[in-house]
Amino acid sequence: MKLSSAPVVPSIRKVHFVILLATVAIVATTVGCSSNSRAAVSSSMPAGASLRPDAPQTGTPTTSRAVATNAKTSSAEKPPIPKLITYKSRDYGVSFIYPWQYAFLNARAVAQGEASLRPKSDGHDGQITLARIDIPKGFYDGTDYESGYFALSLDQDLGQQECEASLVVPKDGKLGTDTINGVEFHWIETDSGGGGHAAKLRQYVTFSNSNSTCYEFEMGVKTRNEDGLAREVDPDKVLRRLDGILRTVKILPDQSPAAAEAESSTEDSGPASHN
């Protein structure tokens, strides 16, 4: 006896048909959900908007921006102007300007101090040292620098020829001339040293006919390097600093009270001063 297979085929086809319908339903559901989600996202953005990265908030600058701002501000700031001090002798009609960092010694301090503080003698008893300016050793720390100074002296016992003759011209040297603020000066330069010590001096003199006074200026640099281990300082560089003071020297041609008062009024707005 044989079994009939005819009813089996329609059953299989029905199963396939059911599976197909289920698959179509699942796909339709998925597509619908996706479309709804996309529509929801799109509706949350205004028309024509685009995605852009967030810009830094101006209210809270970053560290790098702060550093850049500070650097710009610092570079724009001007360095402070060095304070200058004016020395003026009303009795002898002479003045000069020097930096406040330098040390000042008045006439009494020079006269009562060590002999090394006094400038080279002009060979006459009438020589008076009014002031001395010293560059502190801290400017040349770690070198053989011992002292660098500017000294103002005068001698009212000397005539014009004696004033110029007070400069002893060194061997193979010559007497030079220089004009400073309208006044002609004679000057010489000398070098000396030995045993680890050295000195370089420049001496300037000028005679004023208005008050019959011989004005004497000395700039000197002294070094000491006995063991030869210290770094050597360039004396010419030190002398250039001192020469800057010399260029400010003014000698009044008239010593009358009216002239002294006029000079005082013109310097009221200038550097600080002391007599």
Residues 129-160: tens digit of each pLDDT: 999 999 999 999 999 999 999 999 999 999 99
* CATH number 3.30.470 given to 103-235: no
pLDDT over 90 (residue 253): no
pLDDT mean over 256-273: 48
The two structure tokens encoding residue 272? 């600080």
The chain-wide mean pLDDT, for the chain, equals: 77
pLDDT of residue 28: 54
Range with the lowest mean pLDDT among 120-129, 176-185, 206-215, 257-266? 257-266
Phi, psi of 79 (to 5 degrees): -65, 150
**Which DSSP state fits 243?**
H
pLDDT of residue 78: 66
In the chain, where are the structural domains located? 103-235
Task: Identify residue 10 by its one-letter amino acid code.
Answer: P
pTM: 0.65
Query: Of 150, 130, 149, which Cα lies nearest the Cα of 246?
Result: 150
- For the chain, count helices (H), then strands (E): 6, 11
Q: Name the more confident of 3 and 204.
A: 204
Quickly list H helices, 44-154: 63-76, 107-112
Q: How far apart are CA 140 and CA 147, in angstroms?
A: 10
Task: Identify residue 227 by its one-letter amino acid code.
Answer: D
Contact status, residue 156 vs residue 212, Cβ threshold 8 Å: yes
Contact status, residue 207 vs residue 177, Cβ threshold 8 Å: no
Residues 44-54: tens digit of each pLDDT: 333 333 333 33
Strand residue runs (E) in 195-263: 197-208, 213-224, 250-251
Q: How confident is the model at residue 259 (pLDDT cuts 50, 70, 90)?
A: very low
pLDDT of residue 56: 37
**Which DSSP state fits 180?**
E
pLDDT over 60 (residue 115): yes
Q: Name the more confident of 106 and 269.
A: 106
